[in-house]
């Protein structure tokens, strides 16, 4: 057919230009120059946007150009008001990061472009919209991307401002009621394009590697084209490295030059040294913002009467976490941490809610006294889920991970895991959980013993087999969470006995993962004391807590952050001009 476009690949220079504009596209929020944008250039950019693919060729987009300064000032005020509302909802560390993301580009950029969607365009039966009604919105997103890339090719910066109440903005713009706003873009010449996305440069988020996002044939089978299927657990374990000895030497030397008596911060000094070894530099990044992941699951061993609490409490407490009414929420608010709840195995179906990560592997485990609590595949998938949650939280900006848990009867599974990994007898590691009486406690010990005997534990060398035999879905996920944090060299603050027993599994899978672990507190559960002793960890807090949820770890979080802040902010003898007894001015010159 005459006029056909050639199907031959473009030459190398042309391909390079396409990939370059994709790679160098930036979301510009500052640095706009007042120079006007040439009308011909702007038309070319809009033409590129208008050539975007649309389902059914409905072309549901329109472009509203806003140059008027008074109007842009009013729009900026709308955005700033909503930005302030959002900032007030954030923990302090996140709010501080948001302060660096201003909305002044609305006024500073010479052109604003509002990209809208008309979901009624195309009439009653446009191709493709019957089954997926939101294809109009997806099509407009393609137009936004085309506009953005064309702007970069023309040397124009573009910034997407999303701090708007859509109908409030629509009223300011005089849009018809059926028109929806997809994007508000600030466009203009800029002084320079940053070397990386601004959100990455400010620490708000990190870019996920491509290998995390490509699945082969079915979701969860990760592999880049032409490469072998990735085993996420093996890949994560391979990425974990021992603590950096050079960084720890630097940290000890720096501690010796700080204006304080030697060893005066006790355990916190060695903690700061370990965190330098984890990060591979001194001082290490401040461990903030922090994210708590409360892994929730139910347990088949509940049927053996090991707790007086009904299994339904697991789902009810998850709802409480999501509503912000639990102790973990109160403590997280106190220390400025974010809380996410991960459903890896709650027996009930949970409604979608902000903060809920639906990752259900199974509706609870089986009764470990009658057979394996999990299949090997379930145990593996739960560990992988924990790894993925750690990756996602770190990618979204977390610089410290905190373990949390919820699951009625999970202290029974924890006791079995601690006994299996340490070799201690059930009576030494089985506690009273939520406060059971003597008779129930004695019964619980015998249930743990029966489960261990049934599965020949201790004695199995494969940590996944141990998890599958007597663990919970949340234990396996927390083990993966620890591995994921260690691979990304981010500290993981452990909570009580559930986290401690899961950390035993993580350490069995990869001993070097312990380099990322901080024992937040010592639980009143005897199994926790046994676990942290086996792990060689020193708890930071000992308040006889036995709640779980992540509460003890959150109470310790300021101590972890303070240990690092000392390295960042405390003066050395040289910088403070404090005299010492030797030329090196070390802090052994100070006495009380």
Distance of CA 159 to the CA centre of its chain: 25
Q: Are 263 and 250 in contact (CB under 8 A)?
A: no
The closest of 211, 207, 238 to 225, measured between CA atoms, is 211
CA distance 217 to 198: 34
CA distance 211 to 223: 7
Q: Are 83 and 163 in contact (CB under 8 A)?
A: yes
Q: Give, for 245, the enclosing helix (H) or strand (E).
A: helix 245-256
Edge-to-edge strand list for the sheet holding 111-117? 61-66, 111-117, 180-189, 156-161
Q: Are 547 and 521 in contact (CB under 8 A)?
A: no
Q: Considering only the C-alpha atoms of the chain, give the largest distance between any 2 of them, rounded to a whole number of Å.
A: 92
Residue 165 sits at the vertex; the CA angle it makes with 162 and 171, to the nearest 5 degrees, is 115
Q: How many residues are listed for the chain in this entry? A: 592
Q: Are 202 and 101 in contact (CB under 8 A)?
A: yes
CA distance 89 to 78: 17
Tell me, yes or no, if 592 is annotated catalytic.
no
**Which string of b and e fits 531-550 if b means at least 16 CB within 10 Å?**
bbebbebebbeeeebbbbbb
Distance of CA 68 to the CA centre of its chain: 41
CA distance 482 to 4: 56
Please identify which of the residues 288, 378, 474, 549 carries the catalytic annotation.
Answer: 549
Q: Are 495 and 332 in contact (CB under 8 A)?
A: no
Q: Are 495 and 405 in contact (CB under 8 A)?
A: yes
* Alpha helix ranges (H) inside 51-160: 69-88, 92-99, 105-108, 135-153
Distance in Å from the first CA to the final CA of the chain = 92
Q: Are 111 and 75 in contact (CB under 8 A)?
A: no
Distance of CA 347 to the CA centre of its chain: 25
User: Catalytic residue positions?
Assistant: 549
């Amino acid at each position: 057919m005459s006029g056909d476009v050639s199907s031959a690949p473009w030459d190398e220079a042309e391909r390079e230009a396409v990939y370059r504009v994709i790679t160098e596209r930036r979301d510009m929020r500052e640095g706009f120059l007042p120079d006007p944008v040439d009308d011909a250039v702007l038309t070319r950019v809009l033409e590129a946007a208008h050539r975007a693919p649309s389902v059914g060729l409905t072309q549901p987009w329109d472009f509203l150009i806003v140059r008027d300064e008074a109007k842009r000032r009013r729009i900026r005020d709308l955005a700033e008001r909503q930005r302030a509302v959002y900032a007030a909802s954030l923990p302090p560390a996140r709010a501080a990061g948001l302060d660096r993301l201003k909305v002044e580009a609305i006024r500073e950029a010479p052109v604003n472009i509002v990209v809208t969607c008309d979901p009624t365009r195309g009439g009653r039966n446009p191709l493709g919209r019957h089954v997926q009604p939101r294809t109009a919105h997806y099509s407009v997103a393609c137009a936004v991307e085309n506009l953005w890339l064309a702007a970069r090719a023309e040397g124009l910066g573009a910034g997407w401002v999303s701090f708007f109440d859509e109908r409030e903005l629509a009223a300011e713009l005089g849009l018809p009621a059926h028109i929806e706003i997809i994007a508000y873009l600030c466009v203009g010449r800029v002084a320079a394009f940053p070397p990386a996305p601004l959100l990455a440069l400010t620490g708000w988020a990190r870019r996920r590697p491509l290998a995390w996002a490509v699945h082969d044939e079915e979701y969860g089978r990760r592999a880049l084209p032409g490469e072998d299927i990735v085993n996420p657990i093996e890949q994560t374990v391979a990425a974990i490295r021992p603590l950096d000895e050079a960084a720890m030497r630097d940290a000890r030397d720096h501690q010796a030059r700080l204006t304080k008596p030697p060893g005066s911060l006790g355990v916190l000094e060695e903690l700061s040294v370990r965190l330098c070894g984890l990060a591979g530099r001194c001082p290490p990044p401040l461990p903030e913002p922090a994210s708590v992941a409360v892994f929730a699951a139910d347990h088949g061993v509940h049927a053996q009467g090991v707790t007086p609490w009904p299994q339904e409490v697991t789902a009810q407490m998850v709802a409480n976490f999501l509503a912000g009414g639990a102790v973990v929420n109160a403590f997280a608010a106190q220390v400025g941490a974010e809380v996410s709840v991960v459903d890896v195995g709650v027996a009930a179906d949970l409604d979608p809610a902000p903060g809920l990560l639906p990752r259900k592997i199974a509706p609870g485990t089986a009764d470990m006294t009658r057979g394996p609590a999990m299949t090997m595949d379930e145990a593996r998938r739960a560990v992988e889920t924990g790894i993925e949650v750690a990756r996602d939280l770190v990618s979204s900006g977390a610089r410290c991970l905190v373990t949390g848990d919820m699951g009625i009867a999970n202290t029974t599974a924890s006791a079995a895991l601690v006994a299996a990994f340490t070799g201690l007898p059930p009576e030494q590691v089985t506690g009273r959980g939520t406060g059971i009486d003597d008779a129930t406690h004695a019964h619980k010990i015998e249930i743990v013993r029966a489960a261990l005997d049934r599965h020949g534990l201790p004695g199995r060398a494969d940590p996944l087999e141990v998890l599958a035999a007597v663990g919970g879905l949340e234990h396996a996920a927390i083990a993966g969470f620890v591995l994921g944090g260690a691979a990304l060299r981010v500290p993981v603050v452990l909570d009580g006995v559930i986290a401690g027993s899961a950390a035993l599994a993580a350490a069995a899978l990869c001993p070097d993962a312990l380099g990322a672990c901080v024992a937040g507190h010592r639980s009143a559960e005897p199994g926790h004391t046994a676990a942290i002793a086996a792990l060689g960890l020193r708890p930071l807090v000992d308040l006889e807590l036995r709640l779980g949820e992540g509460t003890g770890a959150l109470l310790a979080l300021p101590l972890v952050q303070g240990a690092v802040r000392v390295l960042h902010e405390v003066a050395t003898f040289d910088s403070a001009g404090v005299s010492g007894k030797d030329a090196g001015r070390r802090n052994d010159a100070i006495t009380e």
